[in-house]
């Protein structure tokens, strides 16, 4: 049996994803919404956590040289990106890192650019900090893929009050990987108008169907010095609950200011198990990840096949990265609230409504397909049932 076919009962395990009774009011709902996987972490990661637990002493911890070497080696091996250890700092999670960056590098009257439909904490966090959000809405082309509206992008970053652009690369929810040319054009416009870039690259390891990803900060030294890159093993190896991410800041002045904000909020280090799991995943997880990617590709094909056969008025946007499938259900001609009601009541299925990612996401659904094939087929049957 393929290791990813294992059915693991996650109910009553403090899993947010599977707390369907509390979140949706119905424990019979199948959760395919929030972005975590129903797969067990790599054995080497579990072994490292066991060794740490067996040690039995859990005093204050800090990432050591081995952790930094593991991050450097991973980025070089998987993405051909060479970084120095002095650019690495840490955060419990990427949303935390973005929040700290907003506090550090923007003021109350400043504006922040995002590209909806996009991971909603980007604009939610900006609003919580009382910053004005400027929306550079992505456009669907004739091939049903998202493109950047560069004329509008320049207009937004040229605003004298715009101080930050939050990029999602690869893009969540669509799985689109921005090309080197697109990244360079955005970065050069930000340099021209003195706008700092925060790049959330959390999905960058999950590259599907032979697609390649370019880290924005790898393009040039000038771009690197205007970019803060956020990475984590959490999506790649299903470690979100251990809360460990890395924040890469090549510009020493920016790094010093960012670190001061972390210290201001008492964020002095990582959870011991988070640090151990990060190091083990980046050291030993490559073969496991290759096997996962093969499994996810087959899951994507399964979704495409079922939707084409049984819901032909829906369109599946094939992800280039991530285990999230963005489904265009606009021909259903229902509001997101109506679709959510159908899914939960008739299909007993929980998906993310598209409008959660911005107004231009309305009519779309985001499905998490990082689950055993048996679960996926159950979810697809429920999707068909909801809209039959």
Q: Edge-to-edge strand order for the sheet containing 352-353?
A: 315-317, 324-328, 364-368, 352-353
Identify the pLDDT of residue 211.
Answer: 98
103-112, pLDDT tens digit by residue? 999 999 999 9
* Residue 84: per-residue pLDDT: 94
Greater pLDDT, 63 or 212: 212
Q: Tens digits of per-residue pLDDT, 126-159?
A: 999 999 999 999 999 999 999 999 999 999 999 9
DSSP state of 314: S
- Give the pLDDT of residue 339: 97
Domains of the chain: 3-42+287-387 (3.90.1150.10), 58-284 (3.40.640.10)
Q: List the structure tokens of 365.
A: 């659904």
Helices (H), ranges, the chain:
20-24, 43-55, 65-79, 94-105, 121-128, 150-157, 180-192, 221-224, 234-237, 252-264, 272-284, 286-310, 336-341, 373-387
Two structure tokens written together for 29: 């709902």
Report the half-sphere exposure of 147 (CA within 13 A, side-chain side): 10
Question: Does the model's pTM come out above 0.85?
Answer: yes
At residue 61, the pLDDT reads: 87
* Per-residue model confidence (pLDDT) at position 269: 83
Give me the pLDDT at residue 268, please. Answer: 81
- Find where tokens 């959330």 sit: 200
**Inter-residue contact 304 to 374 (CB < 8 Å):** no
pLDDT for residue 45 is more than 90: yes
C-beta separation of 164 from 110 below 8 A: yes
């Amino acid at each position: 049996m393929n290791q990813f076919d294992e059915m693991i009962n996650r109910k009553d395990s403090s899993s947010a994803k599977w707390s369907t009774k509390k979140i949706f009011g119905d424990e019979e709902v199948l959760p395919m919404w929030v972005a975590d996987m129903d797969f067990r972490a790599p054995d080497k990661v579990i072994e490292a956590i066991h060794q740490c637990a067996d040690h039995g002493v859990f005093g204050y911890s800090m990432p050591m040289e081995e952790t930094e070497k593991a991050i450097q080696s991973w980025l070089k091996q998987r993405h051909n990106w060479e970084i120095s250890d002095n650019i690495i700092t840490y955060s419990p999670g990427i949303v935390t890192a973005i929040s700290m960056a907003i506090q550090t590098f923007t003021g109350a009257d400043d504006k922040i650019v995002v590209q909806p439909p996009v991971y909603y904490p980007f604009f939610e966090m900006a609003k919580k900090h009382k910053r004005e959000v400027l929306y550079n809405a992505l456009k669907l082309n004739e091939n049903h893929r998202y493109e950047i509206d560069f004329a509008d992008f320049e207009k937004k970053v040229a605003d004298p009050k715009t101080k930050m652009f939050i990029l999602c690369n690869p893009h969540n929810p669509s799985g689109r990987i921005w090309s080197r040319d697109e990244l360079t054009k955005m970065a050069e416009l930000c340099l021209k108008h003195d706008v700092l870039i925060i790049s959330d690259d959390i999905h960058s390891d999950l590259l599907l169907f032979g697609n390649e990803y370019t880290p924005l900060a790898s393009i040039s030294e000038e771009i690197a010095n205007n970019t803060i890159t956020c990475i984590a093993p959490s999506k790649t190896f299903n470690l979100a609950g251990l809360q460990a991410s890395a924040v890469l800041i090549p510009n020493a002045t920016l790094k010093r200011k960012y670190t001061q904000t972390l210290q201001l909020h008492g964020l002095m280090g990582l959870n011991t198990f988070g640090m151990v799991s990060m190091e083990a995943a980046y050291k030993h997880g490559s073969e496991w990840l290759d096997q996962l990617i093969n499994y996810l590709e087959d899951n994507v094909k399964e979704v495409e096949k079922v939707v084409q056969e049984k819901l032909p008025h829906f369109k599946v946007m094939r992800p280039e990265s991530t285990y999230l499938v963005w489904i265009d259900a606009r021909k259903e001609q229902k509001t997101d609230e109506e679709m959510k009601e159908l899914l939960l009541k008739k299909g007993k299925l929980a998906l993310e409504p598209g409008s959660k990612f911005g107004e231009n996401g309305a009519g779309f659904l985001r499905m998490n397909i990082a689950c055993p094939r048996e679960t996926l087929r159950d979810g697809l049957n429920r999707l068909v049932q909801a809209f039959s």
